[in-house]
Amino acid sequence: MSIVPHPFDPLSAQEIELAVSIVKKAHSDVRFHVVNLHEPRKAEMTAWLANRGSRRPKRVAEVVVQSPTGTVYEGLVDLETPKLDKWVQKDGVQPVITPEELASVEHGIRTDPKVIEQCVISGIPAEDMHKVYSDPWTISYDERFGTDRRLQQALLYYRPDIDNCQYQYPLDFCPIWDPLKEKVIAIDIPKVRRPVVKSPAVDYHHLAIQRQGGYRTDLKPIQITQPQGVSFEFSGTGREIEWQNWKFHIGFNYREGIVFNNITFNDKGTVRPIFYRMSIAEMVVPYGNPEYPHHRKHAFDLGEYGAGYLTNSLSLGCDCKGAIYYLDADFPTLSGQVRKVKNAICIHEEDNGILFKHTDFRDGSTIVTRARKLIVQQIFTAANYEYAIAWTFHQDGTIQPDIKLTGILNTYVMHEGEDTMGYGTEVKKGTVAHNHQHLFCLRINPNLDGQNNSVVMVDAERSPAPVGSPDNYYGNAFTARRTRLETTAQAMTDYDGTTGRTWDIVNEKKINSQSGKPVSYKLVSREVPGLLAKPGSLVWKRAGFARHTVHVTKYRDDQLWVAGDHVPQTSGEPTKGITEWIGDGTESITNTDIVLWHTFGITHFPSPEDFPIMPAEPITLLLRPRHFFTCNPAMDVPPSYSITPSQVAAKGKGALDATDRISKLANDTCGSTCRL
């Protein structure tokens, strides 16, 4: 008996196969770029939830295919009938680049006579072509070719030894690849040539480290054990997880990777909805070197390749400790087979230091409670970079998207005595890594105690009353200035570190009984560089979401893809995605179903420490309950140690022996036994 999927579940392998077979009946020769869950329409979902006896939202697959001649079609396959419900030709767009297209470039490059000729000019013997590697990149947008012809750019490297980190030997020219014809159609060759650098290798793999003197020997083991297993539980179809009052559904798709639906918190018996849907919707990595053709380096890793398609199988190393649970992912291949990524998502708990502590200085009576966190993680590799996306849930109602950037810098070759002009850093003699940004876009469709929410921007502000005036006699007064964002235009707001700017998602109809303030979740995000590409630039036009820290739009089914439905080779004219949805900016976004889009990230000026492999750089942000609970919601987490003043008085000084306390804390197996 097959399990009836939850409406939010990703398409199963069988559903993908069914969708493919329905499409193939009518269109046998197409290549499958997308076969993905067409998410349940919210109105249908809500109606079904309100009355489980009513019609369950249909399982529908959305399909994007390309014909051998390059025509793109979008379709919807009703998986229940089953039948093709919608089939439309889309002109002037290119579908997402698939892993197979990425993999096909290298072979084609190595056998192309013109590429071989350029390799020889770069100083690579023609018989060494098997040592030339290609990182296949989106071409971004190249005005010579436009959008109609499907293309990629091949960033080339040399690996004298197969185990070398190739990024230390970049080549100076760039072939343009047509994945449909499977051939090189042009080569961009710089005016000033830069031969391949023949410097001694700096490598990071274990054989190289052993050659360089070996590994550190002073690390003693740390054991992390969960003798009684994990504290979370799955229910339903196996994708709904419950942990420490949290409950949510974990989805996954080719584009965003992990998607959360229906995040709720059980507040002393009342299940309170928090977010209807949450994901990273897009990211862009614009590079800052103006020299042609480096301006084309600004990959949209989600919209152009897909964080799901690029995701690692964590069976090959997730490096989490303790008891780990995994979820797999199924994707279509270009020919319509199913590709399973085993262990695409890993789920585990970690100790998280102190949750809260207080000691009364008078008598030493103390409470200290350790925190635990739940991590739902995926790691994806976008050519040279890896992104570890760890969605972290805390016991106090906080959600913390925690992202680590690691992997390898994208590099380029320098010529003898070349000045980088400030646009990059010589990370190894002769190898430059260009300045760039990593800008992510978090998408939240909130549901704070109900669907109708608003967003308020909060700035810490000095009282305007002058020093010496009756309202601010001593000049120390300050308050939180609250600006309610009324329209989509007004909601285009930017970070301001000087006022500690945050944004509250609020339900104005639900008031906290203690503070008298509306219930809210606060977005606290402090790594928010502005987009450095100028207004009017190609990146600025294509990545409308990156122009501001926060955008708010009214919820609409199908407004998921913030940089447009089909991102490869867009010119940004006309602008797609959020800029299009916002239009003239007059739509009201108060007390209604809204989506908050938050762009955050880092500006990366590389340095030698980032090379040849980068120690992980963390980026973090918080979604914190504010006026949502009536008091600290985590006080019922069992403490490691708690002794009250009356217990101290009864036991006398001996109860407070310091070493005793320390050993008890160190003994973290907390149950009632370790409390006094």
Ligand X SMILES: *[C@@H]1O[C@H](CO)[C@@H](O)[C@H](O)[C@H]1NC(C)=O
Cα 234 to its chain centre, rounded Å, is 23
146, 152, 158, 161 alpha-carbon torsion, rounded to 10°: 180
Find the shortest distance in angstroms from Cβ 436 to Cu ion. Answer: 6
Residues in the chain: 676
Chain position whose Cβ is nearest to Cu ion: 604
SS3 541: helix
Contact letters (x/-) for ligand X, 234-263, by CB under 6 A?
-------------x--------------x-
Number of C-beta neighbours around residue 623 at 10 A = 25
Find the shortest distance in angstroms from Cβ 588 to ligand X. Answer: 8
By the rule CB under 6 A, 592 interacts with ligand X:
yes
By the rule CB under 6 A, 646 interacts with ligand X:
no
By the rule CB under 6 A, 190 interacts with ligand X:
no
Among 71, 359, 607, 667, binds ligand X (CB under 6 A): 667
By the rule CB under 6 A, 49 interacts with ligand X:
yes
Could you give the strand order of the β-sheet that contains 132-138, starting from the edge strand earlier in sequence?
A: 132-138, 152-158, 174-178, 183-188
Judged by CB, which is closer to ligand X: 24, or 509? 509
- Catalytic option among 385, 387, 412, 641: 385
**Per-residue tokens: 389:** 């996306």
- Catalytic option among 112, 142, 203, 301: 301
- How far apart, in whole angstroms, are the C-alpha atoms of residue 407 and residue 39? 33
Cα 162 to its chain centre, rounded Å, is 31
Cα 362 to its chain centre, rounded Å, is 48
**Per-residue tokens: 257:** 């990777």
Find the shortest distance in angstroms from Cβ 263 to ligand X. Answer: 9
Judged by CB, which is closer to Cu ion: 256, or 301? 301
Specify the stretch interacting with ligand X by CB under 6 A; choose among 114-122, 182-190, 331-339, 444-452.
Answer: 444-452
Judged by CB, which is closer to ligand X: 631, or 666? 666
- How far apart, in whole angstroms, are the C-alpha atoms of residue 347 and residue 314? 11
Q: What is the 3-state secondary structure (H, E, C) of 566-613?
A: CCCCCCCCCCCCHHHHHCCCCCECCCECEEEEEEEEEEECCCHHHCCC
Find the shortest distance in angstroms from Cβ 600 to Cu ion. Answer: 14
Binds 150, which of ligand X, Cu ion, none (CB < 5 to 8 A, cut-off by type)? none
Number of C-beta neighbours around residue 44 at 10 A = 16
- How far apart, in whole angstroms, are the C-alpha atoms of residue 302 and residue 307? 5
The answer for 564, left when phi > 0, alpha when psi is -120 to 50, beta otherwise, is left
Judged by CB, which is closer to ligand X: 17, or 44? 44
Residue 396: active-site member:
no
**Bridge partners of 31?**
66
Residue 385: active-site member:
yes
By the rule CB under 6 A, 663 interacts with ligand X:
yes
Residue carrying the six token digits 């969708």:
19
Judged by CB, which is closer to ligand X: 48, or 145? 48
- How far apart, in whole angstroms, are the C-alpha atoms of residue 300 and residue 284? 4
- How far apart, in whole angstroms, are the C-alpha atoms of residue 324 and residue 338? 25
Find the shortest distance in angstroms from Cβ 662 to ligand X. Answer: 9
CA dihedral sign, ordered 648, 651, 657, 662: negative
Find the shortest distance in angstroms from Cβ 247 to ligand X. Answer: 5
Binds 152, which of Cu ion, ligand X, none (CB < 5 to 8 A, cut-off by type)? none
Find the shortest distance in angstroms from Cβ 451 to ligand X. Answer: 5
Cα 473 to its chain centre, rounded Å, is 48
Binds 604, which of ligand X, Cu ion, none (CB < 5 to 8 A, cut-off by type)? Cu ion
Omega into 645 within 30° of 0, i.e. cis? no
By the rule CB under 6 A, 453 interacts with ligand X:
no
Among 490, 591, 642, 644, binds ligand X (CB under 6 A): 591
Find the shortest distance in angstroms from Cβ 618 to Cu ion. Answer: 13
By the rule CB under 6 A, 54 interacts with ligand X:
no
Judged by CB, which is closer to ligand X: 69, or 672? 672
Contact footprint for Cu ion (CB under 5 A): 604
By the rule CB under 6 A, 272 interacts with ligand X:
no
Specify the stretch interacting with ligand X by CB under 6 A; choose among 95-103, 151-159, 371-379, 447-455.
Answer: 447-455
Judged by CB, which is closer to ligand X: 73, or 629? 629
Among 94, 104, 244, 264, binds ligand X (CB under 6 A): 264
Residue type, 629: F
Find the shortest distance in angstroms from Cβ 44 to ligand X. Answer: 11
- How far apart, in whole angstroms, are the C-alpha atoms of residue 253 and residue 639? 39
**Bridge partners of 234?**
241
Residue type, 90: K
Radius of gyration (Cα) for the chain, nearest Å?
27
Contact letters (x/-) for ligand X, 401-440, by CB under 6 A?
----------------------------------------
Find the shortest distance in angstroms from Cβ 116 to ligand X. Answer: 57
By the rule CB under 6 A, 450 interacts with ligand X:
yes
Specify the stretch interacting with ligand X by CB under 6 A; choose among 114-122, 250-258, 445-453, 525-533.
Answer: 445-453
Judged by CB, which is closer to ligand X: 190, or 450? 450
Which string of b and e fits 87-122 if b means at least 16 CB within 10 Å? Answer: eeeeeebbbbbbbebbebbbebbbebeebbebbeeb
Q: What does DSSP say about strands 424-428 and 431-434: parallel, antiparallel, or unpaired?
A: antiparallel
Among 237, 313, 452, 603, binds ligand X (CB under 6 A): 452
Residue type, 144: R
SS3 561: coil
Residues in contact with ligand X by the rule CB under 6 A: 49, 247, 262, 264, 271, 450-452, 591-592, 663, 667
* Residue numbers annotated as active site: 301, 385
